[in-house]
Amino acid sequence: MTVDALPAPARLAELDVRAGEVALWWLGQSSFLLRFDGATVLVDPFLAPHDDRLVPPPFAADDAVGIDVVAVTHDHLDHLDAESLPVVAAASPGARFVAPRPLVDRLGVDAGRVTGLQPGDAADLGALRIHAVAAAHGDLPADAYGFSRAAGDGLCRFLGYVFEAGGVRVYHAGDTIPYDGLADAVRELRPDVALLPVNGRDEEREALGIVGNLDEREAVELAAAAGVDLLVPMHYDMFAANPGSPGTAVELARDHPQLAVLIASRERPFLYRSTR
């Protein structure tokens, strides 16, 4: 079998990733594979079939081999894939998992392998350091947009993460809208790359019960205010009722010449090298 025919985790393992570099592979929606020098991370893996998917699963859950850390941002089905996570855990028996603290027992994985986090927490898992950042989201428009502490026994159910290894940092926002202090919290963690949703929100979608996210302008403004080098739009391609426009983010970034925007391919990874 040629390298190009291998599943994404095996293909990513073939890359030579050095200190100061990260290989990023967008798997659709908010799912990413990140390979740092010394750590491979799978974020919000959505690998199960679903009737409403516009994009097929990128690989089978039992092909998720060689993963060091699996990070779950919250418990919506396209982020916490309860069908696939136990299979991923078996395929990568050494993998550790991170999730918002109220969700530790929701992953279908031995709780001894799961680290529960809250905003401001940090965890060291092997070569990887993970910083938790609050995300403002909800289950229905009526309870959005906040931190759903009531549903989490007073704890935050929605997180973003900054992943740090080998001298490079990547911020994955999970699902969120802007809130006071978000840009400052992210900026303090000095990420090089921001993976941000761009599907936005509006009355029509909220009438269907769809809780939205940053729109394209808000994503660009957050990335610029947080001082990141590269913005990668996400969460715009999976469901017909909830689209976004990464091309709009590219156009809006013309007002922020210090910010680069990359429209990632689901077919192959790209390699980023920090200039800091």
The per-residue pLDDT for range 17-72, each reduced to its tens digit, is: 999 999 999 999 999 999 999 999 999 999 999 999 999 999 999 999 999 999 99
pTM metric for this prediction: 0.96
Residue ranges, the chain, pLDDT below 50: 150
Q: What is the pLDDT of residue 97?
A: 98
Q: Are strands 21-28 and 168-172 parallel, antiparallel or unpaired?
A: unpaired
Instruction: Give residue-wise pLDDT tens across range 128-149.
Output: 999 999 999 999 887 776 776 5
CA distances to 19, 25, 45, 195, 256 from 48, rounded to whole Å, are 33, 18, 9, 22, 38
Query: Could you please report the per-residue DSSP string of 200-214?
Result: ---HHHHHTT-----
Q: What is the pLDDT of residue 1?
A: 52
In angstroms, the CA 84 to CA 101 distance is 20
Q: What is the pLDDT of residue 185?
A: 98
Residues 6+ apart with CB under 8 A from 113: 89, 95, 96, 97
Could you give all domains of the chain from N- to C-terminal order, each with its CATH number? 18-267 (3.60.15.10)
Q: What is the pLDDT of residue 143?
A: 73
Three-state DSSP state, 248: helix
CA distances to 28, 33, 68, 136, 193 from 175, rounded to whole Å, are 14, 17, 23, 7, 16
Q: What is the pLDDT of residue 136?
A: 94
Q: What is the pLDDT of residue 149?
A: 53
